[in-house]
Amino acid sequence: MVASTWFGLGAALIIGLSLFQVIINPEPLRKVLAFNLLGSAVFVLFGVLARRGGGRIDGVAFADPVPQALIITGLVVAFAATVLAVALVLRLLQAECATQDHDTECRIDD
Amino acid sequence: MTLTLFADLGLLIILLGLAIITAFARPAFVAVAAYMAYGLVMALAWVRLAAVDVALTEAAIGSGLTGMLLLGAVAWNQRQTEAHPRRRQIRLQVPATHPLLIIVVAAVCAGVSAVLAWVVVTLPEPPTLQVEQVRLALPATGLGNPVTGVLLAFRAIDTLLESVVLVFALVGVWSLADDAAWGGRPRSLRLVQHSHALTLLGQLLPPFGVLMGLYLFWAGADAPGGAFQGGTLLAAMWVLALSAGLAKVPAVSNRQLRLLISIGSLLFLAIGLAGWAGGVGFLGYPAGWSKALILIIEATLTLSIAVTLGMLVAGRPHRALPR
Amino acid sequence: MLFTDLYTYSLVGLGALFFCTGTIGLLRFPDSLSRLHALTKADNLGLGLVVIGLLPQTHWPLGAMKLIAVWLLAVLASTTVGQMVGEAIRRGVPFR
Amino acid sequence: MTELAVFGGKQLVVLALIMPLLGALLAFTIGGRTARWIALLTALVELVVVVSLAWIVVDQQIVVEYQLGGWEPPLGVRLRADGATVLVLLTATVVMTATMISAHADWQPLPDQHETRAGLVFWTLLPALWAAFNTVLLSQDLFNLFVALEILTFCAVPLVCLNGKAETFAAALRYLLFALLGSVLYLLGAGLIYGLWGTLDIGLLALEISKLNRYPPALSLALGLMTAGLMAKTAIVPLHLWLPPAHAGAPAPVSAILSAVVVKAAFVVLLRLWFELMPGSADTMVAQTQGVLGGLAIVLGGVLALRQSRLKPMIAYSTIAQMGYLFLVFPLAGAASAWGAGLLHLCSHALAKAALFLAAGQIITHFGDDRIDHLAGLGHVMPLTLLAFGVAGFSLMGLPPTGGFVAKWWLLQAAIETGHWGWAVPILFGGLLTAGYVFRVLAVALRPAATPALAASTVPHTANAMILLLALSSLLLGLAALGTGLPPQ
């Protein structure tokens, strides 16, 4: 088996376990983290496909550029999703905190 | 050949180990730290998969910025829990965490993994995919890096949408502010305790980082790199200066700031529309002009991405501006 | 040819040894400050040796300059982080 | 020869996509009090663009295609507008424009304020969401669709918690997580498809797949993953939990857009995957499962809607039920009328549901109460709003001659035609449930108030006009569909 196939198998494994965490883990921040892991493994699977379409020119390995471009776009989109999710979680934690502890202030910057 | 396979397998085992720690480690802090390491090792894996552009993006955005963001959130949560020990934790429960349900979910996830693994092994002989088409069409764009060709010429619409995603995500983050804080600055990124070492780094590193960021954008036309990788590096330098207290986060009502954020997408759109005047259609580049136009788009995109990413890290406006 | 290869192997091997001792120190030393000491010292020296070892294998001068720049930046980063972690320990932030 | 002098169909397809995008970016950049005017102007221009495009496509009976940047697929991305697309495009445009106009006075800055948080967010993200939705409709590229669906989510989520109440943050987060799970599964499927054929263009893929004798297992896996992901985004029954708190908790104009437009986006992609890539899949297990889930959604959504004590959650649960009808299209795909029925239901539900949510918003603001048992006297105070509510409710129920009626009638015909009588049961039972919750509101609202009559309605005329326009459009859609003859071929 070529190396990229091994990476594909690894990605398949990571997809399974991060999917499990995404569904089961009740902590919002851990869910977001698991999402990032899941996304990254999906990209690797995509990248393995890109490598299959590639080859070697003058001894330098190259891969199909289209999935590479798609993965770069995907990484940026995934980052935007993470930012939004983390901002929401923090806002939610702060709101919860404010409703539960009336005597102590819950500030985001302390 | 066998030696590189050995190295690849080693890389893979480290990746799997880090992924397992990320997914299952008890302390959230350990999980995020493992994820950052995972991202860096993943960048190496991308190099091994002959995708250097992706490797750069993964290291910059996937590991660096994402890790920093999550680390900050986890640290805040931890401090809050210590300060208010009786605080109820927020839990997003699946309807019932019945053991049976967990077993079913685990079985489904294992099934997905198994089927995907089977597909990876049995997928028919490598098709050429789009390698040939891109190679034949690339000279028309005047670019040397096929990935940049795909991003800015063949699939320019994806990249246009990708650049606006960041703008709208920023609006989304800002939207979580208190009404009273609207128009003001995000909380300072400056660390609570003053550190001379950090100040020194904040003064020493940015010139090199900015040079490197600009180089990444410039080289992107013909070699691995591009607007997103370069912009991220510039953003990192800005964030470094902000956390060393060497610069101030601008207020969200600042007109120039808003223009800087949206100028990349706006110019991209304008040049796209100019394609009609040039007779090559929307998002087309007139023959001979394409490389110059692409570089102009990428230069503004790099700037906009850098500012937007920096503001995304800074978060929602927190303090109203004094009237 | 053979000589440069031998030179590279020995210096990179020595660098790897430093990384190993640094890691053992990280795992076995009793308190945070000495663990930090083991880590930063070993990393700087280890990385330096690896870089010096690899110098003859690269294109002169640009490739070599890149390697040296990598080393300098790594030293700069680890110094700063080491310093900041040290300051935090002195302030009484619990590290384990 | 209705070709316009300057803009032909090709340019209009591009403009339909980028006008709202440009509007959103400008509204963000300029901000302040101007943001609202930029968004409203964008809506009007977009209305002209889409109506012209629809006119060209329908009048000349053509399909408009546009290769972005001049690059032919598989290398480039193609936009495509056929009759079905322009119908949905037009519906979304009407809903968007009417909602924006009816909300034009909300979130205005105080005299000494430069801009408000909610105002800037609303007038920026609503056009952005619109651009994303139009991209979902027009793009022919599976990955481009992914990006568009993501933008749709990123714009919709902040709008859910626009009024900053603590419980809406939780709803928004839940919504975001479901949508992200859906996207990731969709992307995984799209990646596998690229690995099989090296293209993401739906047209080219349909061509490749039609050449096959039997489908490769990787294709089944890919479509299964994409379908599961898109079903999470359309809130079909086991995956519906995120919808009611999000749609009910959002400000009314946002609820209208979410229920009328946003949930439909993923469904449109689902329709295209199954009808264009895998035609003739009506009898497969997947199609049957989709139908069963649709039937469950109709019943469960209807029952839960009946049990709500407040107006907005009731309307939100009704969305779950009405989305269920759409999923009956898959097992009935063998009949000629199924496709038309699905399309018509999608559009008439969009119009009716927008009217219902906007009406509920006016009721909350001006009547001051949305508990259904407390609505007595509403008919006296806000007759026009209640009239619009009623007309929209009739369409939801499927009373003739509304769009809802014709759609359900066509669905029943499809059930009879294909011999699968069983599907008629949820269709009819769902209609009864809908009648139950709509009449419950009307019955209370038409009762005289127990307390002395409240002051006469102060609902702004523009808002009332827009709500009535939406409700009547849903009615007219039914008449127009009846006029084209039953069922469409």
State how far the Cα of B275 lies from the Cα of B269, in Å rounded to an integer: 10
Q: How far is residue D270 from each of residues D88, D145, D215, D279, D459, measured CA to CA in Å?
A: 14, 11, 18, 12, 39
Q: Please name which of D392, D171, D469 lies closest in space to residue A95, comparing C-alpha atoms.
A: D171
Q: How far is residue D349 from each of residues D248, D322, D481, measured CA to CA in Å?
A: 17, 7, 14
Q: Which residue has the tokens 């080693």?
A: B10
Q: Please name which of B188, B180, B184, B232 lies closest in space to residue B209, comparing C-alpha atoms.
A: B232
ipTM: 0.94
Mean pLDDT of C86-92: 82
Q: C93 and chain B: CB distance < 8 Å anywhere?
A: no
DSSP state at residue C49:
H
Q: How far is residue D199 from each of residues D72, D76, D213, measured CA to CA in Å?
A: 12, 10, 20
B208, C91: Cβ pair inside 8 Å?
no
State how far the Cα of B55 lies from the Cα of B67, in Å rounded to an integer: 16
- The answer to whether D342 and D271 are in contact (CB under 8 A) is yes
Q: Which residues pair with D80 in a beta bridge?
A: D65
**Is C20 within the bounds of a domain?**
yes
State how far the Cα of A87 lies from the Cα of B176, in Å rounded to an integer: 8
> Tell me, what's the pLDDT at C51?
93
What are D452-486's pLDDT values in tens digits?
A: 555 555 778 899 999 999 999 999 999 988 887 65
Closest in D69, D155, D218 to B283, CB measured: D69
Q: C88 and chain B: CB distance < 8 Å anywhere?
A: yes
Domain assignments of chain A as residue spans, ordered by start = 3-100
pLDDT at D489 over 50: no
Task: Report the range of poorest mean pLDDT among A43-47, B136-140, C49-53, D4-8.
Answer: D4-8
Question: By 3-state DSSP, what share of chain C in percent is helix, strand and coil, each rounded to 5?
Answer: 85, 0, 15
> Tell me, what's the pLDDT at A110?
36
Local structure of B22: helix, strand or coil: helix
Local structure of D485: helix, strand or coil: coil
> Tell me, what's the pLDDT at B206?
93
Task: Report the range of poorest mean pLDDT among B25-29, D392-396, D447-451.
Answer: D447-451
Q: Do chains A and B have 3 or more beta-carbon pairs under 8 angstroms?
A: yes
DSSP states of D13-57: HHHHHHHHHHHHHHHHHH-TTHHHHHHHHHHHHHHHHHHHHHHHH
Contacts of D140 (CB under 8 A, 6+ apart): D73, D77, D78, D79, D80, D201, D202, D203
Which residues in chain B show pLDDT less than 50?
none
State how far the Cα of B322 lies from the Cα of B317, in Å rounded to an integer: 13
Please, how many CA atoms are within 13 Å of residue D310, restricted to the half-sphere of its CB?
14
B197, C83: Cβ pair inside 8 Å?
yes
Closest in C76, C84, C88 to B205, CB measured: C76
Q: How far is residue D347 from each of residues B7, B297, D226, D353, D481, measured CA to CA in Å?
A: 57, 39, 23, 10, 11
* Percentage, residues of chain D above pLDDT 70: 96
State how far the Cα of B184 lies from the Cα of B187, in Å rounded to an integer: 9
Amino acid found at D414: A
Positive or negative, the CA dihedral D5, D8, D12, D14 is negative
Q: At what angle do helices D461-483 and D336-367 cross, to 10 degrees?
A: 160
Q: At what angle do helices B99-122 and A3-24 cross, to 10 degrees?
A: 160
Q: Is C57 exposed, middle or buried (0-12, 13-18, 19+ CB in 10 A)?
A: middle
Chain A residues with CB inside 8 Å of D158's CB? 84
On average, the pLDDT of chain C sits at 87
Task: Report the range of poorest mean pLDDT among A61-70, B34-43, B257-266, D348-357.
Answer: A61-70
**Is C96 within the bounds of a domain?**
no
Chain C residues with CB inside 8 Å of B208's CB? 73
Query: How many CB atoms are closer than 10 A to CB C32?
Result: 16
> Tell me, what's the pLDDT at B89?
67
A36, B9: Cβ pair inside 8 Å?
no
pLDDT at C30 over 50: yes
- The answer to whether D172 and D158 are in contact (CB under 8 A) is yes
Structure tokens at D379: 């008919």
pLDDT at D322 over 70: yes
> Tell me, what's the pLDDT at D137?
96
Q: Which residues pair with D141 in a beta bridge?
A: D201
pLDDT at A26 over 90: no
Q: How far is residue D120 from each of residues A78, B187, D23, D25, D94, measured CA to CA in Å?
A: 24, 20, 12, 11, 22
What are D136-149's pLDDT values in tens digits?
A: 999 999 999 999 99
> Tell me, what's the pLDDT at D162?
94
Closest in A73, A91, A98 to D147, CB measured: A73
Kindly report the nearest CA distance between residue D241 and chain B, in angstroms: 9
On average, the pLDDT of chain D sits at 91
Task: Report the range of poorest mean pLDDT among A61-70, C85-94, D376-385.
Answer: C85-94
pLDDT band (50, 70, 90) for residue A102: very low
Buried b (16+ CB within 10 A) or exposed e, B207-245: eebbebbeebbbbbbebbbbbbbbbbbbbbbbbbbbbbb
- A53-92 residues touching D, CB cutoff 8 A: 53, 64, 66-67, 70, 73-74, 77, 80-81, 84-85, 88-89, 91-92
Structural domains counted in chain C: 1
pLDDT band (50, 70, 90) for residue A59: low
Domain assignments of chain D as residue spans, ordered by start = 1-139, 141-278, 280-489
Q: How far is residue D250 from each of residues A41, D99, D237, D258, D383, measured CA to CA in Å?
A: 34, 14, 21, 9, 25
| Nearest-by-CA chain B residue for C75 | B201
Amino acid found at D43: A
C87, B205: Cβ pair inside 8 Å?
no
pLDDT at A86 over 50: yes
Contacts of B254 (CB under 8 A, 6+ apart): none
> Tell me, what's the pLDDT at B293?
94
Mean pLDDT of C21-32: 87
Q: B260 and chain D: CB distance < 8 Å anywhere?
A: no
Domain that residue C37 falls in: 2-91
pLDDT band (50, 70, 90) for residue A108: very low
> Tell me, what's the pLDDT at D5?
43
> Tell me, what's the pLDDT at D3?
42
D191, A42: Cβ pair inside 8 Å?
yes
Question: By 3-state DSSP, what share of chain D in percent is helix, strand and coil, each rounded to 5?
Answer: 75, 5, 20
State how far the Cα of C85 lies from the Cα of C96, in Å rounded to an integer: 12
Domain A3-100 = CATH 1.10.260.40: no
Longest dimension (CA), chain D: 74
pLDDT band (50, 70, 90) for residue D261: very high
Structure tokens at C67: 């390697």
